[in-house]
Amino acid sequence: MTINAKDGPLVAEESSPKRPSPAVVQDTLANSTIYLTGWQLQLLSLSLSLCMLLVNIEVSIIGTSLVSITDDLHGFNQNGWVVTGYLITYTGMIIIWSKLSDVFGRKPAILATLSIFTVFSGGCGATQTMTQLIICRVFQGIGAAGCFSLALTVAYEMVPKEKYPAQAAQLAASTALGSLVGPLIGGAISQDTTWRWVFLLNVPAGVVILILLFISIPRNFPNHGNTSYMAPTLRQKFSSSSLARLDVFGATFLLGATLLLVTVLLEAGTSFSWNSATSISLLVVSAVLWVLFVVTECIVTGEKWRPEPVFPWRFFFSRAWMGTLMISLFSGIPYNTVVITIPQRFQAVYGTTPLGAGVRLIPFNFLISFASVFVNILAAKARIKPIYLLLVGSALQLIGLALFTTITNDTTIPAAIYGYEIISGFGVGMVIGICLVIPPHVVETRDLAVASGALLQFRMLGGALGLAIASNVLNNRLNSALAGLVSAEELSVLLRSTASIHLLPPRLQAQVLAAFSDGYNLQMKIMTGFAGAQLLTVGTLWRKNQISVVGDEAKASTQSVDLEKKSSVKEPPPTM
């Protein structure tokens, strides 16, 4: 008996003189899929939505509680790592979890990843130092990555393609709702009790979702209804031939390249200079690892290699798919930056409470939630092509971010800032919402799991890079602007805790607040540049017959992708 699973679910089959190609295996399984209905579909939809809600709350909840956390643990100059440490592993592990679910099964993988997230959430709540918190956040991000990517993968597999817009709207709403309520919860907790509950509340919530997922996901999903499918035993899953499917080198190069790049973007100019040997060495090693990652994926994508690539080489030759990934990357850069830095600005410059900062971020997050649902309704009901929705959303995002750069150094909250939040939030929501339904229509069926992971991974990579850049810009701006105003000791205290601003003399306090305001405006100017790049990238999706996500055009588009790719698949040599 052999285990045939290259680029597809693990399938045990009798030895035969000729083994079918991976695309044929995957298509056979896809055609025999029995989709979920009734209470099981409803319960699983609810469970997946709650899973995505929980991990996305964790990204935005930090925005309004970060000042309280860093003031308590005395590490404002390390605040970027509290968020980015989470995002690095979140970013690096998304595709890897998708591949692990191909090897070990969807149900075991999503239960394992939610368990990791829950356990280390408790660890974050118990930490006593910034270093301990950052370490626990790194492991918490590992769990969150799988929750996010596998929730989307399972959602694709439990319903037929014509129902994808409805599922995408539901999951996009959950994602955006997490961003909406996260700052409010974080602000209320930080203001009325200890910030530790920001993390500790995930423990009971995670346990409840684990139970719901265990009940609602059928055994051997998504092959639960396929009578020809022979589920591998636990021994087979952990056998050398099964583990050999894991692209260990590719995953290692990806994580290493991401970690080193983000480290330079976070620390250069603060812990060490940009032209120092440390910065140059880290950038060079990161570049080498990125090259090794691409080369590795090119090699292991070949049929004669056992490991399954975390990013198949064939992806590089799909302009529409690579364009979608770049749009996802660019949209993540300003999104995470706004969610984190705007609440900081409200607290540091305008003196609002953590809860007040969360309330004032509602327009941005509510419009993201609303637009992510609305855009899928437009795509499904009005049959508007995704490219036009992406153009409108990207343009609105660009306009909103550009308006943020016009905020003055006044310590009074400008009323116009809420309008800027509405415009940019609606644009971000449109882009996030419509990107979720594109993958099934531009990639092969066998690549659906890793494609959904890649889409999310690029967005989170953008978020990590954006926050690293924003944190570095703010720290460098403060260092240069305040160097002549305060002593080195006072500057060190300011970078550890913003609460110390109010201990300064009134005149000096005004100058310090102006420096903070200038730093936040500079962050938004850089984010505006990335938004402009995103708008230009939408053009890569343009083609004669535009991508459609509903109706006969969508089916024809999906079938043409599979046929085109299948024709290029080389038949592997016979095995005995």
The 10s digit of each residue's pLDDT in 59-91 is 777 767 777 787 777 766 666 678 777 777 777
What is the pLDDT, as a whole number, of residue 23?
Answer: 42
Tell me, what DSSP letter sits at residue 441?
Answer: G
**Burial grade of 541 (CB within 10 A; 0-12, 13-18, 19 or more):** buried
What is the pLDDT, as a whole number, of residue 30?
Answer: 46
- Determine the residue type at 210: L
pLDDT higher than 60, residue 21: no
The whole-number average pLDDT for the span 465-486 is: 81
**The tokens of 175 are what?**
């994602």
**The tokens of 132 are what?**
């301990």
Q: CA 6 to CA 150: how far, in whole Å?
A: 19
| pTM of the predicted model as reported, rounded to 2 decimal places | 0.71
The 10s digit of each residue's pLDDT in 86-118 is 777 777 777 778 778 877 888 889 999 999 999
Confidence at 261, pLDDT banded by 50, 70, 90: confident
Nearest to 142 by CA among 126, 119, 169: 119
Q: What CA–CA distances, in Å, run from 437 to 172, 312, 430?
A: 10, 20, 12
Confidence at 266, pLDDT banded by 50, 70, 90: low
The 10s digit of each residue's pLDDT in 116-129 is 999 999 999 888 88
Listed ranges 30-34, 88-92, 96-100, 509-513; the one with the highest mean pLDDT? 509-513
Q: What is the DSSP string of 166-225?
A: HHHHHHHHHHHHHHHHHHHHHHHHHHHS-TTHHHHTHHHHHHHHHHHHHHHSPTTTTSTT
The whole-number average pLDDT for the span 317-342 is: 86
**The tokens of 491 are what?**
């500057």
pLDDT higher than 60, residue 327: yes
User: What is the rounded average pLDDT for all residues in the chain?
Assistant: 78
- The more confidently predicted of residues 61 and 27 is 61
- The more confidently predicted of residues 208 and 502 is 208
Q: CA 523 to CA 5: how far, in whole Å?
A: 46
